[in-house]
Structure 1
Amino acid sequence: TYSMAGTISASESRFMEWKTIDGSHEETAIATYDTLFRGMLEHQRLLDILRYFTLIMRELPEDIKILSAYHQYYAVKKAVETTIEATKSDGRAGVFWHTQGSGKSLSMIFYVKQLQERLNSPTFVVITDRNDLDNQLYGQFAACDEFLRQTPIQAESREHLKELLANRQAHGIFFTTMQKFEESDEPLSDRNDIIVIADEAHRSQYGLTERIRKDGTIVKGTARIIRDSLPKASYIGFTGTPISLKDRDTREVFGDYIDIYDMSQSVEDGATRPVFYENRVMNLGLREEVLQAIDAKYEELAFEASAENIEKSKKELGTMSAILGAPETIETLCKDIVEHYEENRQHYLTGKAMIVAYDRAIGMKIYEKILELRPDWTEKVKVVMTGSNQDPEEWHSLIGGKAYRQELARKFKDNDDPMKIAIVVDMWLTGFDVPSLATMYVYKPMAGHNLMQAIARVNRVYKDKEGGLVVDYIGIATALKQAMKDYTRRDQKNFGEMDIQKTAYPNFQEKLQVCKELLHGFDYSIFTKPNATSKQRADAIRDGANFVFGFEESEQKLFIREATYMRQFRSLCQSVLTESERLESAFIEAIRVSITRVKGARRLSLKDINQEISTLLEQSIQSEGVINLFSDREEEFSIFDPDFLASVQAMNQKNLALELLSKLLSEQISIFQRSNLVQAEKFSERMKQIMNSYRNGQITNADVIDELIRMSHDIMNANRKGEELGLVQEELAFYDALTKPEAIRDFYEHETLIEITRRLTEQLRRSRTIDWQQRKSARAGMRRMIKRLLDEYDYPPEGQEEAIQIVLRQAEQWVDNIEVFY
């Protein structure tokens, strides 16, 4: 069992375990019930969480209620304490490293909320290094303004920031970019109650040391400029990727780590999903000189560019753009992306994917080529980038302005919107979350934290998403391995190897083999033949499901579990499977779906199962035929349909027939449990006896089918009894309750029992507007009303006192399930 916490409006996937009592040690396995109670629900801590770590964020289409996870709570508490200490000493509060996707931005909001009270309303200056990041982070804070009890403001310039700081002595959350600090050397403020929050604190621009250009001029590092501009402020850095071991400046500016929440812990906690890698560079057939140019670009990325090399870099960028943007290369790239997407990713989750282009010109070429290949994708694929006055005229309508980009962001975040593929260059590669996004096609050299931040776009949690897939067309494998060297040892061990050929694919093969061994003795070779008909495949799936239904219950659960694992790994490595593996895994998945739908909690719809299996095979093996496992009739099956019962009785797959009948009968009994207590108990007990006899080997599956069909007829007759007596459904339920003890019929005329039934039902109908479920006094009044009415008829007779309890129980059932009747 799991002990998890979440808000009442959150989906189950967003509930999380509370894995520590005091923040000093994480239970890395499943957190215990005791840890949740002593950790999260300790009296003072719970009040603290409700006050400072629970918020409502304005979002479209509806607001979101957010509860802090345990790692955010304890890390923010630490950060608050180190900041208070920093204000009394050297102003270095430390670095807050929580891996990408684990809620870093929300942690900032919780941090600001707490410090507002602990430090008597300080002023916060939030710094990013790009305008789009500034907009994204500002937007998140603005969406929580009621929680923060103040409205954040974006500084339009250095002068504007200076005015904002000068015009108040307390409060204020101001957003700015680092570039605004470079506009002047003059101090912005000498106040000592300013807290500077730097997002992604380890970027190269945070240099402290001065550099001397070739012409003799001195260039200050941005960190030095910020320090000089706000000399008495305190500084804290928030980052989603680790500080490089060689990076001394970041530590000099901010101090050491406050808290580390690495990838391993985040994935284990379910806060993020792992990222996997697929290499398709060879599919482009790039010439050797092109590959050498790309390698040179990676070498350049390994070292942070200095100001004096910018002009040289611009020339090199132009050369690289010409190489990567060659028409034949773009055509090969786009054909491969389209093929990979359609065959492997289009139907995974919501089909959202991102293409990262080298530059804006190449991004437009990719867009135009994809539309040339797929003209009907005009709503499916969009370009997301900023515009320029020098852009060609035809670009303007495709790029649009700020409002258009905001609309594209809304569409991409909407899982039901037809926009599925976003072509980006720099935008949306940091700070932009689309949980269902599972695929990223990379055609841009990236390295270090820029690379790790970009690929983290696909690591968000969404339903049963196994992980995100990064498809490489530019050779980022070495850069990935290099970037991982700055991560924790367990991260390097767990995620140092991301290649699907070495991770997901071997795991898939292992689970496929386990499933094949469980199916030993069953011949499904007809399904794997390329020319197999839809009927042959449908027969194989039906026979396969029948075979598995013949297993012991524990073996059935084992098959479902292993087939589920196989499906999850297949979702990541489908493009590298052999034809045999694709067909065999599709067959096993079809059996798993059939079994889980028949045995699952959802209402059984054989038509839906047919549709689901057909869609599954169409997506996984491009099977175009319609799969009819049970029938090709349009209308749904019913246990009250004689033709259906006859067809089930004649099925050769007796195990499957038994499961179908027992499922349908169980559904009918569950309807009785909400409407007719007496019939529910009667048929439930009968069903239990039949199945126990079968499990104990006293009767065969054919005998069970016969018994269940007889039971189906008896349920039909029970439903018809109301028509014969002239009673509607709810009246029949009370009649059955009144006459449950057989001896009751000996004491009353038939007409009297009908009269009691109708009067009782009518009185309850007249009072159905009362909120029975909320008011105990109302329910007590209902019981008194029933007893008074029954007293008029001297019911129950002497010696049958328990009969009234049955009537009262039926009345309670009527109250709790009143929607069944109206």
Structure 2
Amino acid sequence: MNGKYYESDYEEALIDLLIQQGWEYTHGGSIARNNKEVLLVDDLSEYLQQRYTDLNASDIEEIINRLRHVSGQTHFELLHNTFYLVRDGFRYTRNQDGKIFDIEFVDFEQQNKNNVYRCVNQFEVGYGLKDDVRIPDVLLFVNGIPLCIFELKNPADANATIADAYDQIHIRYKRDIPHLLRYCPLSCISDATVNNTKLGTTYTPYNHYYAWKKVNNEDEAAKRGIDQVKTIVAGVYEPNRFLEILRDYVYFPDKKYEKEEEIVCRYPQFFATRMLRESVLKAHTANSRKGGTYFGATGCGKTYTMMFLARQLSLRCKELGSPTVVMIVDRDDLQTQAGKLFLRSEEFLSLGAAKIIADREELKRELSIRESGGFFICTIQKFCEQIGELNTRKNIICFSDEAHRTQVRLNTQLKIKDQKEKNEIIEVEGLGAFITKPYAEHLRTAFPNATFVGFSGTPIDETIQVFGEVVDSYTMQQAVEDEITVPLKYIPRIANVTLDSEKVKQIDAYYKQCADEGATAEDIEVSKKAMSAMEVILGDEDRLERLAKDIIEHYTKACENKADVVQKA
């Protein structure tokens, strides 16, 4: 031994870990094949023959050709269409006798009985007219179909980075051997150093590859580089887990949208989805209506967690009988990421139509013409225009995005507003404070038998009262450690403010009126705290001018690049 460590050593170590998880190992040089053929035809033929014993050799050849000759005008379209065929299968009709077979290229139900799991290294892939080759480090095949590509770099070589591994896949392989990558929805880049073993897709931007730091949700996140390698192998590439991720956690937008986007879940999304699914089923069975609360800090990917959960509830929960999902959002959220994402995801959701609802009557009509399915997005404000029941079905699941904003305060509450609204009960001129009915009450009246799930980044007690206990959470500290966001540092700054004595007297008189008309002491205290922190007091012009000068001075001294000024939410 000369003490040197080579990339091939790391390659062998990774293969050993894969073998421990149940993958069969084959060296690419030992496979007899034309190097432009990227399927392991023997494995695929064996699987089809064992799974469908009535198929003959001609049938098998025709089925394999169906996979080889998927159509698509672009590489992305080829990948998209091939993935759907591998995941969902197709109906094959034999010409000779008209016999029908529902062909599945992967057995997702009896995963260990029929499937062939094989890891291969040094697999030469030919391209071009001069018989050039590319040799990916490690490929994972299920039933002879390459479904994940690994590109590794030597941990001992400071000049070999995972950025180079990324470029190898996304630039050189995509250019030279697209006939391999059209089958590969997943990819992994690694140099075995801290936070540098990352999962992505062949259409994931470099900065959206992420480490997978847990095998099970209750585990402590892996911190050392080699531990993170072991964790991703056991947490993603254990064969049953690998198929679970392939089936329900790899996302493409609907084919009618031209955006070239492919997303695979991150580990917090995967575990949160699993736990929320079980919580919803438990609530549905117990008639508690409280499906649970998920708290996710900035960067947790909450919107995709909602989408993964909706697919799970649609396809993997027979007890719900293909539910209808109603997503409740703030008024401003309809045109943001959440609304747009769900509207272009009907194929993935498998719930039928996805639609933004204009008003209560439209929602009532949509719910009345179906007993199952459908994904509807509406604002919480729609439920405050009127009161009353919309639908009594039990298989309605309500997702509340930013639950702390959309459904808080089980009792009547005091709110701060600049303008009057329809549900106003009392108001004092110029103050903009009034008592309203709680949103949660409107929702529970509208859907008396539905199950409610809350998604929030702001933990408050009222959210838990409405939706149930916290099922899972992803903290800001976790997001920082996972390199999804940057740490926040708080430096207190003082900007004194002097109150107008007449305004204070007016406020006190208003709250006395509220108490006389039935508001509770608790509600009045909540509103006082809110008003003391809002523009009624803090909008003083002198104070704002001092703040602006302080921001400019601090920015000039401390900031080198782009800076954002963020106001109170």
Determine whether 1:83 maps to 2:272: no
The sequence identity of aligned pairs, in percent, is 30
Match of 2:397 among 191, 195, 202: 195
- 3-state SS of the aligned residue for 2:490? strand
- The corresponding residue for 1:269 is 482
- The corresponding residue for 2:240 is 44
- The corresponding residue for 1:181 is 383
- 3-state SS of the aligned residue for 1:37? helix
Distance 1:324 1:255 in 2: 40
Q: Deviations over 1:142-179 (max 9, x none)?
A: 24344325452111111121112112222111112222
Determine whether 1:92 maps to 2:290: yes
Distance 1:83 1:39, change over 3 A: same
- 3-state SS of the aligned residue for 1:238? strand
1:16 deviates by 1.9
Code of the aligned partner of 2:310: V
Distance 1:33 1:319, change over 3 A: closer
- Asked if the contact 2:277–2:312 (Cα under 8 Å) also holds between the matched residues in 1, the reply is yes
- The corresponding residue for 1:239 is 456
- Asked if the contact 2:407–2:463 (Cα under 8 Å) also holds between the matched residues in 1, the reply is no
Matches for 1:99-138 after TM superposition, within 5 Å: 99-118=297-316, 119-128=320-329, 130-136=330-336, 137-138=338-339
1:225 deviates by 2.1
Distance 2:321 2:344 in 1: 23
1:94 deviates by 0.9
Distance 1:310 1:120, change over 3 A: same
Distance 2:252 2:500 in 1: 51
- 3-state SS of the aligned residue for 1:108? helix
Distance 2:479 2:465 in 1: 28
Q: Deviations over 1:495-527 (max 9, x none)?
A: xxxxxxxxxxxxxxxxxxxxxxxxxxxxxxxxx
- Asked if the contact 2:397–2:450 (Cα under 8 Å) also holds between the matched residues in 1, the reply is yes
1:203 deviates by 4.0
Match of 1:24 among 202, 213, 218: 218
- 3-state SS of the aligned residue for 1:83? helix
TM-score under structure 1 length normalisation: 0.37
Matches for 1:219-238 after TM superposition, within 5 Å: 220-238=437-455
- Asked if the contact 1:138–1:152 (Cα under 8 Å) also holds between the matched residues in 2, the reply is no
- 3-state SS of the aligned residue for 1:159? helix
- 3-state SS of the aligned residue for 1:225? helix
- The corresponding residue for 1:148 is 349
Code of the aligned partner of 1:5: L
- 3-state SS of the aligned residue for 2:394? coil
- 3-state SS of the aligned residue for 1:202? helix
Code of the aligned partner of 2:285: K
Determine whether 1:6 maps to 2:190: no
- Asked if the contact 1:100–1:241 (Cα under 8 Å) also holds between the matched residues in 2, the reply is no
Q: Deviations over 1:392-413 (max 9, x none)?
A: xxxxxxxxxxxxxxxxxxxxxx
1:78 deviates by 1.2
1:82 deviates by 1.5
- Asked if the contact 1:154–1:176 (Cα under 8 Å) also holds between the matched residues in 2, the reply is yes
Distance 1:344 1:334, change over 3 A: same
1:250 deviates by 3.2
Distance 1:316 1:33 in 2: 47
1:104 deviates by 0.9
- The corresponding residue for 1:514 is none
Distance 2:448 2:497 in 1: 53
1:32 deviates by 3.2
- 3-state SS of the aligned residue for 2:334? helix
- Asked if the contact 2:413–2:523 (Cα under 8 Å) also holds between the matched residues in 1, the reply is no
Q: Deviations over 1:313-345 (max 9, x none)?
A: 999977537x5235xx55554444444445543
Code of the aligned partner of 2:564: A
Distance 1:312 1:208 in 2: 18
1:111 deviates by 0.6
Distance 2:406 2:199 in 1: 39
Distance 2:470 2:533 in 1: 37
1:239 deviates by 1.3
1:262 deviates by 1.8
Distance 1:101 1:304 in 2: 38
RMSD: 4.2
Q: Deviations over 1:108-159 (max 9, x none)?
A: 011111111123421111112x311233221232243443254521111111
Higher helix share: 1
- Asked if the contact 1:127–1:134 (Cα under 8 Å) also holds between the matched residues in 2, the reply is no
Distance 1:94 1:223 in 2: 15
- 3-state SS of the aligned residue for 2:480? helix
- 3-state SS of the aligned residue for 2:403? coil
1:227 deviates by 0.9
- Asked if the contact 2:298–2:479 (Cα under 8 Å) also holds between the matched residues in 1, the reply is no
Matches for 1:60-459 after TM superposition, within 5 Å: 63-90=260-287, 91-118=289-316, 119-128=320-329, 130-136=330-336, 137-149=338-350, 150-203=352-405, 205-209=407-411, 220-243=437-460, 247=461, 249-281=462-494, 286=496, 288-289=498-499, 320=537, 324-326=540-542, 330-345=544-559, 347-348=560-561, 351-354=562-565, 440=566, 442=567, 446=568, 454=569
Distance 2:544 2:454 in 1: 40
Determine whether 1:15 maps to 2:209: yes
Q: Deviations over 1:675-701 (max 9, x none)?
A: xxxxxxxxxxxxxxxxxxxxxxxxxxx
Distance 2:200 2:322 in 1: 30
Higher strand share: 2
Distance 1:6 1:306 in 2: 48
- Asked if the contact 1:204–1:304 (Cα under 8 Å) also holds between the matched residues in 2, the reply is no
- The corresponding residue for 1:34 is 230
Distance 2:550 2:447 in 1: 51
TM-score under structure 2 length normalisation: 0.52
Distance 1:290 1:336 in 2: 24
1:15 deviates by 2.2
- 3-state SS of the aligned residue for 1:227? helix
1:264 deviates by 2.2
Where do 5+ consecutive residues of structure 1 fail to align?
355-439, 447-453, 455-822
Where do 5+ consecutive residues of structure 2 fail to align?
1-191, 415-424, 428-434, 512-519
- 3-state SS of the aligned residue for 2:390? coil
Distance 1:92 1:34 in 2: 37
Code of the aligned partner of 1:156: A
Code of the aligned partner of 2:314: Q
Code of the aligned partner of 1:37: V
Distance 1:251 1:331 in 2: 40
Distance 1:17 1:224, change over 3 A: same
- Asked if the contact 2:408–2:439 (Cα under 8 Å) also holds between the matched residues in 1, the reply is yes
- The corresponding residue for 2:249 is 53
Distance 2:529 2:489 in 1: 35
Q: With CA pairs under 8 Å and 6+ residues apart, which has the higher RCO, 1 or 2?
A: 2
Distance 1:135 1:80 in 2: 27
Distance 1:50 1:24, change over 3 A: same
- 3-state SS of the aligned residue for 1:276? coil
1:77 deviates by 0.9
- Asked if the contact 1:198–1:237 (Cα under 8 Å) also holds between the matched residues in 2, the reply is yes
Which is higher, the Rg of structure 1 or of structure 2? Answer: 1
Q: Deviations over 1:212-236 (max 9, x none)?
A: 9899xx9753212211210111111
- Asked if the contact 1:127–1:196 (Cα under 8 Å) also holds between the matched residues in 2, the reply is yes
1:4 deviates by 2.2
Distance 2:557 2:362 in 1: 52
